[in-house]
Amino acid sequence: GPTFEAIDPVRGITNLSSGKMGFAIAKAARRAGADVTLVAGPVALPTPRGVHRVNVVSAQEMANATLAVLDSGSMFNVFVGTAAVADWRVTQPSAEKLKKNSNRVGPVLSFLENPDILATVARMPCAQKKTDGSKYLFCVGFSAETHALERYASEKRKRKGVPLMVGNIGPLTFGQDENALLLVDEMGTTEIPKASKDQLATR
Ligand code: C5P
């Protein structure tokens, strides 16, 4: 789902991601027999049966929780980054609620870039493809775009160093129960036509 970046104790910046795709993938993986840990942003979705859930709010918390899970000693085979992680956080969130002032001008916020969780995980030694064919952490990213899906998804796959990038059209997926996907890997692209997120996750 989304992350939430605080401005002050009662306000923040977030996005329209619902978390439905990520939860559907967690459910499908569990149904296929996997042990699943779901690091979830602030979403009101029920935890899929048998899935271990870790709740976080901000991108920084999501990064910390994800790295802690991967560090916990369990052997993971697949990492799927479906979250719409906020690109930026407010440099200095106010400890107190910001108040309106008489000159009718709002506050000026400055931003810092958040850590890229997917790129960080994909750079870990355990995520490097092994020449002897042994297992490694297979990383999957999601790329939400408004246009030029193939180009952006393929660029992002290379930039983040992941074997599989899944492209989708942001405004057509955020909050919806259905979606259509474009899988981009080293072999090329594969379209998965519109279907429910549960069906897409299973495929
Ligand atoms: O660069 P962009 O946000 O479009 O990349 C999307 C992919 O990168 C998604 O898989 C998303 O979960 C991941 N991502 C991340 N940490 C960020 C930004 C994006 O893991 N700070």
Question: What would the 3-class secondary structure string for 88-132 be?
Answer: EEECCCCCCCCCCCCCCCCCCCCEEECCCHHHHHHHCHHHCCCCC
**Ligand 1 centroid from CA 81, angstroms:** 7
Q: According to the per-residue pLDDT averaged within each range, which of 14-18, 104-108, 137-141 is highest?
A: 137-141
From the CB of 116, is ligand 1 less than 6 Å away? Answer: yes
From the CB of 141, is ligand 1 less than 6 Å away? Answer: yes
As a whole number, mean pLDDT of residues 16-30 equals 96
From the CB of 114, is ligand 1 less than 6 Å away? Answer: yes
Model's pTM, two decimal places? 0.95
The catalytic residue positions are: 15
pLDDT (0 to 100) of residue 104? 86
Q: Tokens for 157? A: 């796959």
From the CB of 66, is ligand 1 less than 6 Å away? Answer: no
Instruction: Using alpha carbons, list the distances in angstroms from residue 187 to 16, 88, 116.
Output: 32, 33, 25
Mutate which of 66, 116, 151, 182 for ligand 1 pocket (most atoms within 8 A of beta carbon): 116
Q: State yes or no: pLDDT of 98 exceeds 90.
A: yes
Q: What is the DSSP letter of 164?
A: E
Tens-place pLDDT, residues 40-68 = 999 999 999 999 999 999 999 999 999 99
As a whole number, mean pLDDT of residues 97-109 equals 91
As a whole number, mean pLDDT of residues 158-164 equals 97
Nearest atom within ligand 1 for CA of residue 165:
10
Q: State yes or no: pLDDT of 102 exceeds 90.
A: no
**Ligand 1 centroid from CA 62, angstroms:** 12
Nearest CA to ligand 1 atom 13: 118
Nearest atom within ligand 1 for CA of residue 162:
10
**Ligand 1 centroid from CA 116, angstroms:** 6
**Ligand 1 centroid from CA 110, angstroms:** 21
As a whole number, mean pLDDT of residues 181-194 equals 97
Task: Count CA within 13 A, CB hemisphere, residue 40.
Answer: 24
What average pLDDT does the structure give for the chain? 96
**Ligand 1 centroid from CA 55, angstroms:** 18
Q: How far apart are the first and last CA of the chain?
A: 20
Non-local CB neighbours of 196 within 8 Å, separated by 6+ positions: 177, 178
Q: What is the DSSP string of 30-53?
A: HHTT---EEEE-S---PPPTT-EE
Q: State yes or no: pLDDT of 164 exceeds 90.
A: yes
Confidence band for 172, pLDDT divided at 50, 70 and 90: confident
